Amino acid sequence: VTPDSPLRFGRGGLAEFAGSFEYPGGRAFLVTSEEVARVHGAAIRGAIGSRLLAEIRIDDREEKKTLAAVASILDRAVEAGLRRDDFVVAFGGGVVSDVAGFAAAVLLRGIQWYAVPTTLLAMADASIGGKTAVDHPAGKNLIGAFHSPSGVLIDPDLLDTLPDRQFRSGLVEIYKALLVGDAKGAEAFLGGLEAAARSRDADAPLLAAIRVKEAIVGRDPLERGERRVLNFGHTLGHAIEAFGGYRRFTHGEAVAVGMAVAGVLSAERAGLDAALASEIRRELAAFAKDAVEGADPASPAILRALDLDKKASSRGRAAVLLKAPGKPVLVEDLGPESWLEGLRRVRDGIVL
Ligand SMILES: NC(=O)c1ccc[n+]([C@@H]2O[C@H](COP(=O)([O-])OP(=O)(O)OC[C@H]3O[C@@H](n4cnc5c(N)ncnc54)[C@H](O)[C@@H]3O)[C@@H](O)[C@H]2O)c1
Ligand SMILES: [Zn+2]
């Protein structure tokens, strides 16, 4: 695993794609989606230019992030005569990069790939760190590979077409990265999430969040230890997402609830300043509102999802709490009941 993929960051950078990295000698196999191709297809094709071998558009709904999607990419690649010195370009959100990156990992036993993320979440998170995966009926991201892209190009201008709800979802993930890994950045961003959502400009915190993830992944590429801190807010967040059938709430909305609750639990069990925990909760309230209203703590479905998560997590996956911004701690004994109790209290605070 080489987690340190070269990164190009800048508005308008997509136009420079052809000169941005040291590409292998061959041609580009473009993987994107209908929606992303509709809004930015001409731009990426123009940026790739004459080296384009073929293009495939996959369905980028979460329920289609499956082995069948990977198979369709493999079929198209073989049909196009893909060779070892060709490379995949993943152009889309996290669904596209997870599927395309995994296809690149197995095509001809692994060819290079480049990520050009088009959602804020994919820029901050999914395209960084070399994890690729598809879902299995039994759970999310169960089938995949560590296969780092050979380059990541981030052009925030591509976000101009992104729906507000998706932009907001990405902001939550940025805030998470800063809270676990960049105390100054987290402090600077506190009070700024709503403003960033309105102005649609999160360039500075986005870059800071990428640096946090790169640093953590660089030290623990295979998630044997420290990398787990990036799951802050995700134990309960994943349960709420599952409860909503992965359609009702965005990932960021569910994780916003998980982070607000993790903040409360952090004040109780990990020594996080209580006033700061309240500020974090208030900061996230507008982002968490729909999910926290929808996620009834008494619902058996949430408890079931939390139980499943606990079973799946053997000894290795403890819960992440914060001692302070930039100082995450792993806590072993946080059961589903603690998360549900925290959810009840955050709910009472947010839903008036
Ligand atoms: N590999 C990792 O480390 C990692 C990390 C975080 C998330 N993920 C995965 O990422 C996925 C979520 O990614 P996501 O939040 O980017 O969602 P997504 O890929 O589903 O994209 C969200 C929606 O935005 C649309 N879209 C994308 N770019 C657009 C643009 N520029 N303009 C207009 N519409 C656009 C898409 O068509 C889609 O409907 C999940 O499957 C998650 O598991 C992976
Ligand atoms: Zn996440």
pLDDT beyond 60 at 3: no
Query: Within 10 Å of residue 203's Cβ, how many Cβ atoms?
Result: 15
234 CA distance to ligand 2 middle (Å): 7
Task: For residues 232 and 249, give the distance between their C-alpha atoms in angstroms, rounded to a whole number.
Answer: 18
Pocket of ligand 1 (CB under 6 A): 33, 35-36, 39, 60, 62, 65, 92-96, 98, 118-119, 121-122, 125-126, 129, 131, 141, 158-159, 161-162, 166, 169, 251
Tens digits of residue pLDDT in 113-148 = 999 999 999 999 999 999 999 999 888 899 999 999
Where do we find the tokens 């297809």? 41
Residue type, 227: R
Residue bearing the CA closest to ligand 1, atom 33: 162
103 CA distance to ligand 1 middle (Å): 17
Ligand nearest 65 Cα, by number?
A: 1
169 CA distance to ligand 2 middle (Å): 9
pLDDT above 90 covers a percentage of the chain that reads 86
Tens digits of residue pLDDT in 42-60 = 999 999 999 999 999 999 9
Q: Phi/psi at 272 (nearest 5 deg)?
A: -65, 135
Q: Considering the chain, what is the average pLDDT of its residues? A: 94
* Listed residue (188, 55, 61, 172) closest to 125, CA to CA: 172
* Listed residue (189, 194, 159, 161) closest to 288, CA to CA: 194
Tens digits of residue pLDDT in 191-213 = 999 999 999 999 999 999 999 99
Note the pTM of the prediction, 2 decimals.
0.96
* Listed residue (148, 320, 149, 121) closest to 230, CA to CA: 320
Residue bearing the CA closest to ligand 1, atom 15: 121
323-337 in b/e form (b: 16+ CB < 10 A) is ebbbbbbbbeebebe
Burial class from Cβ neighbours inside 10 Å (0-12, 13-18, 19+) for residue 109 reads: exposed
- Confidence tier at 2 by pLDDT (50, 70, 90): low
20: three-class secondary structure by DSSP = coil
**Both tokens assigned to 237:** 């967040």
The residues that are catalytic are 109, 131, 173, 213, 223, 227, 231, 234, 238, 251
Residue bearing the CA closest to ligand 1, atom 9: 94
171 CA distance to ligand 1 middle (Å): 13
What size, in residues, is the chain? 352
